[in-house]
Structure 1
Amino acid sequence: MTSALALSLVTVPAVQAAEPGAYWTPERMRAAAPLDIRTAPASALRASVPTGEPTSVAPLAIPNGGSPWTGGGAVVATAGRVFFTYQGRNASCSGNAVTSGNKSTVITAGHCVKLDGAYHTNVAFVPAYDNGNAPYGTWNARATFATPQWHASEDINYDIGAIVVGQLNGQSLTDVVGAQGIAFNQPKAADTYAFGYPAATPYDGTRLIYCSGRTFNAFLSNGIGMTCDMTGGASGGPWFRSFSEATGTGTLNSVNSYKINFFPNWMFGPFFGADAQNLYNQAQAA
């Protein structure tokens, strides 16, 4: 159901570091706790009728999903870690730079910008994060966005967020790292690659991890699912259709969002429909 509420623009609070990278030292980045992937029992979801069993899942690099990405290409620079302060502790998610009018837009999960009724502070994006190193710099957020449904009630069906970063050394984000395309209202079943920086066991947040397979209609929500064992910290990482391993490019069509208690080897993401498109349009115009 499409909400008539306006999208909520939240300006990053004054506690944000004044200079790029000043707050997020390598030590703080390494110590940031991975924000959990939402683990959703059926009773916690504002759901439509469940949509059935997965129809097919392609073979993966390891039985449950994730492997280090060694293919290179554009995704190495467009994907990165999202850092922020949540309830007084430093935490992390994942995100990806997309084509945008302001050349400064990162797409992530809604719970990576707002959770438990409050928007995060000290939000920053570190593309191509490498074990505390920021080869393309640390990009401080100047505004964060969430879908109306996530803003109002943190509805898992609309767990989508956007971060607009400021310039760094007089340059805009996607002029430096490149950008991936983004699409909306696409068929739910597609060959898909998911990326992220999982930092909870058995991962440690130091490397870009990926899963690949065919998506299926999600259980308990209007989203999509795939076989993937990525853990906390991967939230907000991009899902790409039409992904080329040769070039590392694809079309972003969802993000890592939640898991279900009884299916730990499946990851679920929100459907990118009209609300996601409105979110993107408002963020890229900021």
Structure 2
Amino acid sequence: MRHSPRATAGILLVTGALLGTGVQATTAGAAAAPSSAAVHAGADTSAAQQRTAAFWTPERMRTATPLDLVTAGPGALNSPQHRGAHTAVAPTRPSAHVTSFPQSGGPWTGGGAVVKTSGRVFFTFQGRTASCSGDAITSRNASTVITAGHCVKYQGSWHTNWTFVPGYHDGQAPYGTWTATKTLSTPQWSASEDMNYDVGLAVVAPLGGKKLTDVVGAQGLEFNGAYNKPMYSFGFPAAAPYDGTKLIHCSGDSSQDFLLTKDHGLGCDMTGGSSGGPWFTSFDESTGTGLQASVNSFGYTFLPGTMFGPYFGDEAKAAYEQAESAS
């Protein structure tokens, strides 16, 4: 992500399947669930959903401001906590197919499931329209989107008019706009905006009588996985030099954040608007599927061209399990 001037550490506020039936969730190991996720009620009636859908005209989507880099909140330097056993939740376990490691973002031209599961996130933040990225993930309710925590709540306020647009391209919403009935974040993010836990989720209402992942498919998830391995990051950066009109990706060997210690790092110059976009391990370029292990989250002024994403540990897993059980 190309960084604009900011404080010493900042959050890059950016947005991000197997198609078909018979999706299975597999678990390797078990861990005790941490505290419950923080939950905010969204458009939980049909009338509210219709109002939100009507609010997001194509023009409002085009002019939504990508959330910019911000100063790290309290608790960002909390010491790491114990991580549980490695857990994967996935429709499949695709084989890795890594061919190159570009350090700057480029349009994704490989096709596959990721062009349908990833999308832009739109919402109202402090009276203005704004954007992030997100990804449709495998879930029991077939209606769960994962993004960054600051893409659902920031500076003490939950975002409103929250909508997910999978497959967004050049102002088009080919698979519809999906309105959140509720949004969630890890309790650590909600309480103190701790960047180690910058994970948010949304449960979206059916559209045209169909559920989200029945329409666009779903990506698998990995919890308590390894560090220092190949990763692919996707998002819809909308701040210069990008314009939010297409899916951008970076790929390379990830690293472990040497300062906050819990997070993943990756060479990438994606900008504002890409926050919340998915990071995949075991990504198969031929099918566009992988196991999501993080989201675009933040960057440091002294490390231009590098982005960081929160580690998906027990806390993220607990928030995910709460979201996928919601209606």
TM-score normalised over the length of structure 2: 0.80
- The 1:268/1:16 distance shift into structure 2, 3 A limit, reads farther
Per the alignment, residue 55 of structure 1 pairs with: none
Q: Equivalent residue for 2:209?
A: 170
Would the aligned equivalents of 2:66 and 2:237 in 1 still touch at CA under 8 Å? yes
Query: Aligned residue for 1:54?
Result: none
Distance 1:38 1:219 in 2: 20
Partner of 1:136: 175
Encode CA deviations 1:14-44: one digit per residue, 9 max, x unaligned. 8955256311110000000001245659x98
Matched residue, 2:62? 30
Q: How big is the shift at 1:189?
A: 1.4
- State the SS of the aligned residue for 1:183: strand
Alignment of 1:1-286 (within 5 A): 5-12=35-42, 17-19=49-51, 21-38=53-70, 40=72, 45-48=76-79, 60-61=101-102, 64-221=103-260, 222-286=262-326
Instruction: Tell which has more relative contact order, 1 or 2 (C-alpha 8 A, sep 6+).
Output: 2
* Corresponding letter in the other structure for 2:79: S
Native 8 Å contact 1:73 1:249 kept in 2: yes
Partner Cα separation in structure 2 for residue 170 and residue 17 of structure 1 = 13
Cα displacement (A) at 1:4: 5.3
Residues 16, 260 of structure 1: CA spacing in aligned structure 2 closer, same or farther, 3 A cutoff? farther
Task: State the distance in 1 between where 2:126 and 2:110 align.
Answer: 37
CA deviation profile, 1:181-235 (whole Å, cap 9, x unmatched): 0010000111110000000011000010000001101132111101000000000
CA–CA distance in structure 1, aligned partners of residues 71 and 273 of structure 2: 13
In the alignment, structure 2 segments of 5+ residues that lack a partner are 1-31, 81-98
Q: CA RMSD in A?
A: 2.1
The amino acid across from 1:130 in the alignment is H
State the shift of 1:8 in Å.
1.5
The runs of at least 4 consecutive aligned structure 1 residues that moved more than 3 Å come to: 2-5, 13-17, 37-41, 58-61
Q: Distance in 1 between the 2:115 and 2:70 partners? A: 25
How far the C-alpha of 1:117 sits from its partner, in A, is 0.2
Q: Deviations over 1:48-96 (max 9, x none)?
A: 38xxxxxxxx9633xx420000000000000000000000000000000
* Paired AA for residue 253 in structure 1: A
Aligned-partner Cα distance in 2 for 1:121–1:150: 18
For residues 218 and 234 of structure 1, what CA distance do their matches in structure 2 show? 19
Specify whether residues 180 and 68 from structure 1 end up closer, same or farther in structure 2 by C-alpha distance, changes over 3 A only. Answer: same
Cα separation, 2, equivalents of 1:166 and 1:176: 13
Kindly provide the amino acid, as one letter, of the partner of residue 153 in structure 1. S
Q: Distance in 2 between matches of 1:173 and 1:19?
A: 19
Distance across 1 between alignment mates of 2:142 and 2:307 = 29
Contact kept, 8 Å, 2:33 with 2:314, in 1: the verdict is no
Q: Tell me the secondary structure at the aligned position of residue 55 of structure 2.
A: coil
Whole-angstrom distance in 2 between the partners of 1:219 and 1:36:
24
The alignment-based identity, stated in percent, is 56
CA distance in 2, matches of 1:40, 1:230: 19
SS of 2:138's equivalent?
coil
**2: distance between equivalents of 1:100 and 1:215?**
26
**Structure 1 counterpart SS, 2:304:** strand
Residues 39 and 259 in structure 1, CA contact (< 8 A), matched pair in contact too: no
What SS is found at the alignment partner of 1:281? helix
* Distance in 1 separating the partners of 2:208 and 2:145: 18
**Residue of structure 1 equivalent to 2:86:** none
Q: Matched residue of 1:176: which SS?
A: helix
Contact 2:58–2:171 (8 Å) recurs in 1 = yes
